[in-house]
Chain A
Amino acid sequence: MQALIDEFPVILQAFWLTIRLTLASGAVALVLGTILAAMRVSPLPVLRGVGTVYVNVVRNTPLTLVIVFCGLGLGTVLEVSFSTSLSTNYMWLSIIGLSAYTAAFVCEAIRAGINTVPVGQAEAARAIGLTFGQNLRLIVLPQAFRAVVAPLGSILIALTKNTTIAAAIGVTEASLTMKALFERHGDAVVPIFCGFALGFLVLTLPTGLLFSWLSKRLAVIR
């Protein structure tokens, strides 16, 4: 218990990095995922094909591999650089990996959301002469988003937990910090574990509650 109190600032810092990784990757993934979903329902077979290949490739690749590729492949070999500070650079590389991976799931969720929009809506939009882009932007996507608030919340929670995998390329977020604390305080494994587990509960439970509340509020009444 003492270890937990002594190391509290370190733990707080680790979780702060976890939160930043989650928010940054979540934002990028939401944008990228929406674009992918639009591609997958577009009139152009090429776009649909590109979207489908992306989703199926990324979804069937382990996230650890994606992150390792971003860190060692993009970072070390191809020398993609965001910052002169090594740790900041690896943070951004892991954000790329996390967003690229999460975007595939966001895309599938939104696509499922598009399925919930009654066909009549899209037909009416077409009938008054809206183009595919207008139809999607003005009629279908706004309703689809409201339908998938809860699944998007699930994806955000999964992302929060997945940020731990950035440990694979040495980003000192919560899990790697926990490992370091285990090594430093071998006698306090249980309290440290409980502390970190609690930390993740504190992050994920409110997210779940918030999103299920939002999904009820934003639900389209049909």
Chain B
Amino acid sequence: MTAVTGERRPARRRVQGSDPMNVLYDVPGPRARIRNNVLTVLVILAVLFAVYVMVTKLGEKKQLDPALWTPFLRGDVWVNLIVPGLLNTLAAAAVASLIAVPFGFVFGIARLSEHAVIRLAAGAVVEFFRAIPLLIMIFAVMFGGSAIFGLTVTPFTAVVVGLVLYNGSVLAEIVRAGILAVPRGQGEAALAIGLRKSQVMWMILLPQAVTAMMPAIVAQLVVLLKDTALGFIVSFEDLLNAGARVLPSNFNNIIPSVIVIAIVYIIINLAVGAVAVWLERRSRRSRKTAAQPIARPGSPSAVEAIAQPIVHPDSSDAVEGHPKRPTM
């Protein structure tokens, strides 16, 4: 019996064995396969048990009451409460992105300036806004605006200004890394054929750098979109506000609302994240740039390691290019 099954296996073993991802463990033999199957069943049981505990707990607290969930089947709830919040979230994210990206380019290029004054000033701005928490910035804009300038700062403005300063600074680091990732010879050759410094930047370095950093920029925009939720704390009427304040005050259903809102966020972010992954694949095989895709500061790989399992012989560069400060 074992001989027969044993003879059949080599074909499959070779297929799996050639898979470079599975060097951490052998292709399971008969005993290991039984053990794996047993463990699989145990894991599934554990997950089911966890789900069961959660469901009973939610049931005990009356959270599975249909009255708490049916609002999400009603059109007017979406049209009047959720969609306006979503639009505010997207508006804040869009406005902040449109300002933060140029901000990032200006400061990223300024940090590479030959003039020490410009370089240091840009460096100070970028390092400062990356080091302090975004929420501190948002509070400061709201209170500072009215206390110092006598302006009424709306939550929208405060959130956008905070997002621009923080994400713009992170983007500046991405831009700087992108430009530095273009092989030196490119700029030197351009200078050698007589281009001016600005021409080298605009015609040679930036076009290649943009290709290399597009995935990192898009991945950072996911962070920006997620961070709009901070507006909740200053009563900005965004998606989170709709899910955690407006809906629960109407239907007394905080847990269902937060879950539904979370799903909306996750779908949007996964969609934008997928664009980043697609861009990275494209730029990896691009022949328009000599630069490799660069990493977003603080992320484990160029686009956060979304790629499937592990131990790729050729991905040992994954953790390199880690500037010291984070983005989450």
Interface residues of chain A, those whose CB is within 8 Å of chain B, are 40-41, 43-48, 50, 56-57, 59-65, 68-69, 72-73, 76-79, 102, 105, 108-109, 111-119, 122-123, 126, 131-132, 135-136, 140, 147-148, 150-151, 153-155, 157-159, 161-162, 164-165, 167-168, 174-175, 178-179, 182-183, 186-187, 189-190, 193, 196-197, 200-201, 204-205, 208, 211-212
Contact = CB atoms under 8 A, between A and B. Distances in A.
Given A65-B261, A158-B327, 10 more contacts: A43-B24, A43-B28, A78-B58, A78-B63, A78-B255, A115-B312, A147-B319, A162-B133, A186-B143, A200-B133
Given A108-B304, A154-B326, A201-B132, A62 B309 contact: no
A190 B140 CA distance: 8
A65 B328 contact: no
Interface of B: 20, 22-26, 28, 32, 36, 39-40, 43-44, 47, 57-58, 61, 63, 128, 131-136, 139-140, 143-144, 147-148, 222, 226-230, 232-233, 240, 243-244, 248, 254-255, 258, 261-262, 265-266, 269-270, 273, 297-301, 304-305, 309-313, 315-316, 318-319, 322, 324-328
Interface secondary structure of A, over-half rule: helix
Nearest to B226: A62
Contacts of B305: 108, 111-112, 115
Given A44-B43, A47-B43, A126-B25, A64 B240 contact: yes
Nearest to B145: A189
A122 B24 contact: yes
A140 to B, nearest CB: 7
A161 B318 contact: no
Contacts of A190: 144, 148
Contact of B310 (A111, A164, A187): A111
A132 B24 contact: yes
B319 A60 contact: no
Contacts of B312: 115
Nearest to B62: A77
B232 A68 contact: yes
28 contacts: A40-B310, A43-B28, A60-B265, A60-B269, A60-B273, A68-B240, A77-B61, A77-B255, A78-B57, A111-B305, A119-B313, A126-B26, A135-B24, A150-B319, A150-B322, A151-B319, A154-B298, A164-B135, A165-B135, A187-B147, A189-B140, A190-B144, A193-B140, A193-B144, A201-B132, A205-B131, A208-B324, A208-B325
Contacts, number: 231
Contact of A175 (B135, B309, B319, B325): B135
Contacts of A201: 131-132
A168 B24 contact: no
A38 to B, nearest CB: 10
Interface centre among B39, B240, B304, B315 (most CB of A within 10 A): B304
Given A63-B226, A112-B305, A126-B25, A182 B143 contact: yes
